[in-house]
Structure 1
Amino acid sequence: MHSRNLAMGIMFFSQSIVGVLGNISLLSHYLGLYYNEHREKPVDLILIHLFTANCLIILSKGVPHTMVAFGMKLFFNEFICELFLYIQRLGRIMSMGTTCLLSIYQAITISPKNSFWKNLEFKSSNYIVFSISLGWVLYTTINFIFPVLVHIKSSHKNTTEKRDFAFCFTWGHDEIAESLYTALFVFPEFLLSVLIIWSSGSMVVILYRHKQNTQHIRSTQDSRRTSPESRATQSILILVSSYVVFYTISSILQGFIAVLYRPSWWLVNITAIVSLCFPTLGPFVVNLDFIVLKFCLLCITNIKKRVICL
Structure 2
Amino acid sequence: MSPKAFMSSVLENVLYIQAGLGVLANMFLLFFYSFTILGHRPKPMDLMSSQLTFIHIMMLLTGADFWLTDIFESLNIENYIKCKATFYIHRVLRSLSICITCLLSVFQAVTISPRSSLLANFKHKLKKYMIYAFLCIWSLNLSFHSNLIFYVGGFTNVSETNQMKVTESCVVFPMNYIIRGLFFTVTTSRDVFLVAVMLTTSAYMVIILFRHQRQCKHLHSISHLRASPEKKATQTILLLVFFFVVIYWVDFIMSSTSFLVWMYDPVVLTIQKFVMNAYPTITPLVHISSDKRIINLLKILQLKCY
TM-score, normalisation: structure 1: 0.79
Aligned to 1:301: none
Distance of aligned partners of 1:227 and 1:202 in 2 relative to their CA distance in 1, 3 Å threshold:
same
Task: Answer yes or no: is 1:121 the counterpart of 2:118.
Answer: no
Residue 79 of structure 2 corresponds to residue 77 of structure 1: yes
**Cross-structure match for 1:199:** 201
- Counterpart CA distance in 2 for 1:136 and 1:277 is 23
- How far has the Cα of 1:189 moved from its partner? 1.2
Displacement after TM superposition at 1:208 (Å): 0.8
CA distance in 1, matches of 2:17, 2:284: 16
Q: In 2, are the aligned partners of 1:22 and 1:284 still within 8 Å (CA)?
A: yes
Q: Pick closer, same or farther for the CA change 1:159–1:3 going to 2, 3 Å.
A: closer
Alpha-carbon distance between aligned partners in 1 of 2:78 and 2:210, rounded to the nearest angstrom: 52
Counterpart position of 2:176: 174
> How many positions carry a matched residue from both structures?
280
Matched residue type, 1:126:
K
Residue 257 (str. 1) matches residue 279 (str. 2): no
Written as runs of structure 1 = structure 2, the 5 A alignment for 1:234-253 is 235-253=236-254
Contact 1:100 1:193 in 2 (8 A): yes
**Displacement, 1:32?**
1.2
1:280 aligns with 2:297: no
1:14-25 map, 5 Å: 14-25=17-28
Alpha-carbon distance between aligned partners in 2 of 1:213 and 1:91, rounded to the nearest angstrom: 42
Shift of 1:137: 1.3
* Superposition deviation, residue 286 in structure 1: 4.4
1:222-265, Cα deviation, whole Å (9 max, x unpaired):
89x88669867754543232111111100110011112232333
Partner residue of 2:300? none
Tell me: CA distance 1:250–1:289, structure 2 relative to 1, closer, same or farther (3 Å): farther
Give the structure 1 partner of residue 92 of structure 2: 90
| Alignment-derived partner of residue 112 in structure 1 | 114
1:276 maps to a residue whose letter is N
Which residue of structure 2 aligns with residue 296 of structure 1? none
Change (3 A) 1:285 1:110: same
For structure 2, the residue ranges without an aligned partner over 5 or more in a row are 71-76, 294-306
Aligned equivalents of 1:222 and 1:259: distance in 2?
Answer: 56
Distance 1:131 1:15, change over 3 A: same
Give the whole-Å Cα distance in 2 for the aligned partners of 1:252 and 1:23: 27
Structure 1 pair 32/180, CA: closer, same or farther in 2 (3 Å)? farther
> Secondary structure at 2:115's aligned position in 1?
coil
Tell me if the contact between 1:50 and 1:98 (Cα under 8 Å) persists in the aligned partners: yes
Hey, what's the Cα distance between the residues in 2 that align with 1:98 and 1:288? 20
Distance in 2 between residues matched to 1:190 and 1:211, nearest whole Å: 31
Deviation larger for 193-202 or 176-185: 176-185
Please give the alpha-carbon distance, in whole angstroms, between the structure 2 residues aligned to 1:6 and 1:21: 23
Structure 1 equivalent of residue 49 of structure 2: 47
Take 1:176 and 1:56, find their aligned partners in 2: how far apart are those partners? Answer: 32
Letter in 2 for 1:250: D
Say if 1:12 and 1:65, in contact at 8 Å, map to a contact too: no
Equivalent residues of 1:16, 1:63 under 8 A apart: no
Residue type matched to 1:34 in 2?
I
1:78-135 C-alpha deviation (Å, 9 max, x unpaired)? 1111111101111111111111111111111111111111110000011111111111
| Structure 1 spans left out of the alignment, 5+ residues | 69-74, 293-310
CA displacement 1:19-78 (0-9 Å, x = unmatched): 1111121111111111222x121111111111121122111111259989xxxxxx9811
CA contact under 8 A between 2:45 and 2:104: conserved in structure 1? yes
* Cross-structure match for 2:301: none
Q: Return the letter of the residue paired with 1:7.
A: V
Secondary structure of 2:165 counterpart: strand
Q: Indicate the SS of the match to 1:18.
A: helix
Q: Is the 8 A contact 1:236 1:289 kept in 2?
A: no
> 1:178 & 1:171 partners in 2: Cα distance?
11
Report the AA paired with residue 176 of structure 2.
D
Partner of residue 35, structure 1: 38
Query: Any idea what SS the aligned residue of 1:169 has?
Result: strand
Distance 2:290 2:95 in 1: 21
Question: Does the 8 Å CA contact 2:59/2:90 hold for their aligned counterparts?
Answer: yes
1:163–1:262 contact (8 Å) kept in structure 2: yes
